[in-house]
Chain A
Amino acid sequence: MSFSREPDFGTPARESDKTVTLVIDGQAVTVPEGTSVMRAAREVGQSIPKLCATDTMEAWGSCRLCLVEIEGQRGTPASCTTPVRDGMEVRTQTPRLEKVRRGVMELYISDHPLDCLTCAANGDCELQDTAGEVGLRDVRYGYDGERHHGDRADAIDQSNPYFAFEPAKCIVCSRCVRACEEVQGTFALTIQGRGFASKVSAGAAADDFFNSECVSCGACVQACPTATLSEKSVIEHGTPSRHVDTTCAYCGVGCSFRAEMQGDQVVRMVPAKSGGANEGHSCVKGRFAWGYATHKDRITTPMIREKTTDPWRPVDWDEAISFAAGRFKAIQEKYGKDAIGGITSSRCTNEEVYVVQRLIRAAFGNNNVDTCARVCHSPTGYGLKTTFGTSAGTQNFKSVEQADVILVIGANPTDGHPVFASRMKKRLREGAKLIVADPRRIDLVRSPHVAATHHLQLRPGANVALMNAMAHVIVTENLIDEAYVTERCETAEFERWRSFAAKPKNAPEALAEATGVAAQDIRAAARLYATGGNAAIYYGLGVTEHSQGSTMVMAMANLAMATGNVGREGVGINPLRGQNNVQGSCDMGSFPHEFPGYRHVSDDAVRQSFEAEWGIGLSDAPGLRIPNMFAAAVDGTYKGMFVQGEDIAQSDPNTRHVQAALDSLECLVVQDLFLNETAAYAHVFLPGTSFLEKDGTFTNAERRINRVRPVMTEKTGLSEWEIVCRLARAMGYDMHYASAAGIMDEIARMTPTFAGVSFERLDRDGSLQWPVNDAAPNGTPTMHMSGFVRGKGRFMITEFVPSDERTSRSFPLILTTGRILSQYNVGAQTRRTENVRWHETDVLEIHPFDAEERGLNDGDTVSIQSRMGAVTLPVKLTERMPQGVVYTTFHHPVSGANVITTEYSDWATNCPEYKVTAVQVARANRPSDWQLELDELHETRYRTGGIEAAE
């Protein structure tokens, strides 16, 4: 079977209420107004030859191949730049057109090497295909073109680890340059020179791709119609022979991809244009950083050990499962039923997560199940459920196209959610206004063709103060959408909130010291948010990972309700979720107080329905949250734990406390791809499957349920849900599923918001946004359209309570943490790819004045000390940081960022306060004690049957 790409309609689809009917080659066609003739022709199967046009970007009209004849119109207009008109009669093929096209093609080919048989794009080259379509048989000008190929060609640029740039093959169609601008929004590429000397350049003369502004999203490679920009994996292996549609397993954007394959080997991952979340775009992680799935470090055999100081012993599945079950049962006999529990993974599928929470509730017999959303977006769930009635964001990503004012708080989308950031930047280039609230000057504040109208550079920990100050302006300057509030919100709660917001203590001037932001800036930002048209809030962990995380989510919801910005396209409260399936893992009942669908365990009717389905009595009391599990472990009442695909020893705050807790367990089961940091404390290792082996679904930040399809068989021999079922059975609870689809059928049966979801439906319709039920059979792109899910919207009083974590003479700086584009969270995956070339080590960013005060130069090794502990890192001086605040990422275990973070957490959900830690920074000349201990741990805890397998 030969390989084919997704269909290319040449120019983007248009949306319009008006349609236009025209005749193309005798065939009548009706399309939305604004559609190009090229696209209209393609929709009736008339594919017009083209080179510079592709449907992911606007028409350019430079290649002169897509010419057509139009009745009553002189000449041969380009079909890509000609919009359709009613009654138009178009001919796409005539002797004149054939001659012109062949002549144009002849010129292209005279300047192109003819090494087709050995070219990486052979079989997947639009130039080759088009030469065939136009019937090119001869090139009268010769094939010399020596300016651009042969001995005088520019060298191939191999600097990017994932793709090569071969200038000799370039036809200067500008598709790469336009992809970088229009799709990605980075503007890294340009056409240098003029006329015949024109060529693609990654910036300054000295720049290669790697050292340029390029963010390696792959859009240019995908856009290139020749072999000029080619994936190195295709150069190495050849063109793919088949593809499987699946979903990326990195961030919460949840991009759809075509895994393009040869046999069971992935040749490349190409973003799917049909994907609702990404519409054909990708980032460096999803597009290129999938090599970890077959990395040599992957463990594919189960392993056990009596003590964590013993070497690992590879065993078969039966032995590993019976060992784990035996230990869990022994612990429960000795310490009681509640002495064990588990953590589900936001990296795993809905089906895998559902089965683990059932294992815990039904086989363990308690509700000690939690998930890593605890440490990221649990305040989102709490805050939005309290105010709106649903624990999820209100919009789809496409909604940003309708936004007039975009307020980004505590999120860095260009690094954390790059594909959504590209969609947002596109809207900003069209003129939407941007307000950024962030202590750091993130890239969005000022980048090519994007500039924030207001950058509210607030102090870490002052989010709620900022929201209260904005609320004060909106209330006291009469900017409330009274009609909206009256119709949709609870009156008494609103009036109380209005009085609260109006209090003088909430005036921007009164809060200026707390926020660190000038009052007039807050006033201007509040006015813009309230009066600038459709206003949408996008936020990340800079909102949630605070002691007032839940308060802040409610404060944002208050603001949105007060200004009428919930319940239609272009507005809303939009959490940018960290992990691919963090929404799904929450939906699937991973919290200790909730069954799937966010229903409390004490709700008798719900509990009884699960008791009937699962054939066993269930506890009506909330179980332990992750921090409670650690506390109980240290306390000696919690002794066994099943950890699915999470590296809690690296990702959770106050590492020493976590390590002490894990070390005290009598049975720790880790299910993962790699022997991660947590595995140092494990007794049982159950090898997991990568997303390329999984069959199931992920739910992204838009509540979009996407299919994950296996492109290869499980390298471990078993699916993860089957392993969990076997563990349940070994513990005496009968749990069976025939397939992942069967698990989803049970989820749909048991969870009202998933009632209409099935694999069959998803395979047919692509994706669905929950709720999918009788009221919304095709899903719900925008929530709260005709009223809030809870009935009336509920305003909440949001007193500003400063964190207990304060700076002092000993710890005068505030440390905050975040992510970088090329690496992902604890780095277990991205560190095992070429992405490390962009970020080999975590660094501490500090303002030059703070550095000077401490005698620090760029690149110095420094010690970062908090009251919890110390680590050493290289330092980077940057004015992106405000004075008094330092920043680091946490992608490398040796950095130990969480050695310094504290035990403080959100009042409502215990989401850790990662974003505020008081520290001191000083020059250091050796690794910290903790880092030396980590080295020792890696030497002693990762041995396998005498062979060392350190991470």
Chain B
Amino acid sequence: MSNDDQELIRMANQIADFFSGYPDDEAAAGIKGHIHDFWTPAMRAGLDEIIATGDASLSPLVIRAVRRGAA
């Protein structure tokens, strides 16, 4: 895994940590919205790839959030 991937995982997990105080649905929406609003398309694509490879260090909340709906 590249340094870049590790960085994306760390950032995504931190976002999930913040939203962990919210009910699952709201947390997922919050995480997805945050990543959509602040990450570049390339970073988002990088995260999609990490999810596709099933990296165990990524928070399940992030995975649920990104996979949630098409929006």
Contacts and interface: CB of A to CB of B under 8 A. Distances in A.
Interface of A: 338, 500, 547, 550-551, 592-593, 600, 602, 621-625, 628, 631-632, 634-635, 637, 797-799, 801, 804, 903, 905, 907-910
A628 B7 CA distance: 9
A391 to B, nearest CB: 14
Contacts of A593: 37-38
Interface stretch (B18-26, B47-55, B63-71): B18-26
Given A634-B3, A903-B7, A628 B40 contact: yes
A392 B54 CA distance: 40
A637 B43 CA distance: 12
A797 B27 CA distance: 11
A798 B18 CA distance: 7
A634 B3 CA distance: 9
A contacts with B: majority SS: loop
Nearest to A798: B21
A804 B11 CA distance: 12
A907 B41 contact: no
Contacts of A909: 38
B40 A907 contact: no
A600 B39 CA distance: 12
A626 B39 CA distance: 12
10 closest Cβ pairs, A-B complex: A907-B14, A797-B21, A799-B21, A801-B17, A621-B41, A635-B4, A907-B18, A907-B15, A631-B4, A593-B38
Contacts of B7: 631, 903
A623 B40 contact: yes
Contacts of B4: 631-632, 634-635
B18 A799 contact: yes
B2 interface: yes
Contacts of B38: 593, 622, 625, 908-909
A625 B40 CA distance: 9
Given A635-B2, A798-B21, A907-B14, 18 more contacts: A550-B18, A593-B38, A602-B37, A622-B37, A622-B38, A622-B40, A631-B7, A632-B42, A637-B42, A799-B21, A801-B17, A801-B18, A804-B10, A903-B7, A907-B11, A907-B17, A907-B18, A908-B34
B61 to A, nearest CB: 13
B2, B14, B22 interface centre (most CB from chain A within 10 Å): B14
Contacts of B18: 550-551, 799, 801, 907-908
A256 B51 CA distance: 53
Contacts of A625: 38
Contacts of B37: 593, 600, 602, 622
A908 B38 CA distance: 9
A637 B2 CA distance: 14
Which of B3, B11, B18, B37 has the largest count of A CB atoms less than 10 A from its CB? Answer: B18
A624 B38 CA distance: 9
Nearest to B7: A631
Contacts of A799: 17-18, 20-21
A85 to B, nearest CB: 61
A625 B7 CA distance: 13
Nearest to A600: B37
A132 to B, nearest CB: 66
Given A903-B7, A908-B15, A624 B20 contact: no
Contacts of A622: 37-40
A804 B40 CA distance: 25
A631 B3 contact: yes
A593 B34 CA distance: 11
29 contacts: A338-B40, A338-B42, A551-B18, A593-B38, A600-B37, A602-B37, A621-B41, A622-B38, A623-B40, A628-B40, A628-B43, A631-B3, A631-B4, A634-B3, A635-B3, A798-B21, A799-B20, A799-B21, A801-B14, A804-B10, A903-B7, A907-B11, A907-B14, A907-B15, A907-B17, A907-B18, A908-B18, A908-B34, A908-B38
A802 to B, nearest CB: 10
A624 B40 contact: yes
B6 to A, nearest CB: 10
Contacts of B17: 799, 801, 907
A652 to B, nearest CB: 15
Nearest to B37: A593
B57 to A, nearest CB: 12
A798 B43 CA distance: 26
Which of B2, B14, B39, B40 is most buried by chain A, counting CB atoms within 10 A of its CB?
Answer: B40
Nearest to B15: A907
A302 to B, nearest CB: 32
Contacts of B3: 631, 634-635
Contacts of A628: 40, 43
A631 B3 CA distance: 8
A719 to B, nearest CB: 32
Contacts of A547: 14
Contacts of B21: 500, 797-799
A500 B40 CA distance: 33
A677 B56 CA distance: 40
Nearest to A904: B10
Contacts of B41: 621
B35 to A, nearest CB: 10
B13 to A, nearest CB: 9
Contacts of B43: 628
A631 B17 CA distance: 23
A913 B34 CA distance: 20
A506 to B, nearest CB: 11
Contacts of A637: 42
B2 to A, nearest CB: 7
A402 B45 CA distance: 51
Contacts of A550: 18
Contacts of A634: 3-4
Contacts of B34: 908
A799 B22 CA distance: 10
B27 to A, nearest CB: 10
A798 B17 CA distance: 10
Nearest to A634: B3
A338 B45 CA distance: 15
Nearest to B20: A799
Nearest to A801: B17
A621 B14 contact: no
A602 B38 CA distance: 11
A675 to B, nearest CB: 30
B33 to A, nearest CB: 11
A539 B15 CA distance: 23
Nearest to A367: B40
Contacts of A602: 37
A798 B14 CA distance: 13
A547 B7 CA distance: 14
Contacts of A907: 11, 14-15, 17-18
A558 to B, nearest CB: 12
A412 B4 CA distance: 36
A530 B25 CA distance: 33
A621 B3 CA distance: 23
Greatest chain A CB density within 10 A among B2, B22, B38 is at B38
Contacts of B39: 622
A907 to B, nearest CB: 4
Contacts of B2: 635
Given A631-B7, A635-B2, A903-B7, A797 B22 contact: yes
Nearest to A547: B14
Contacts of A623: 40
A804 B21 CA distance: 18
Nearest to B44: A621
B5 to A, nearest CB: 10
Given A500-B21, A797-B21, A621 B11 contact: no
B51 to A, nearest CB: 19
A621 B40 CA distance: 6
Nearest to A625: B38
A903 B4 CA distance: 12
Contacts of A500: 21
A593 B3 CA distance: 24
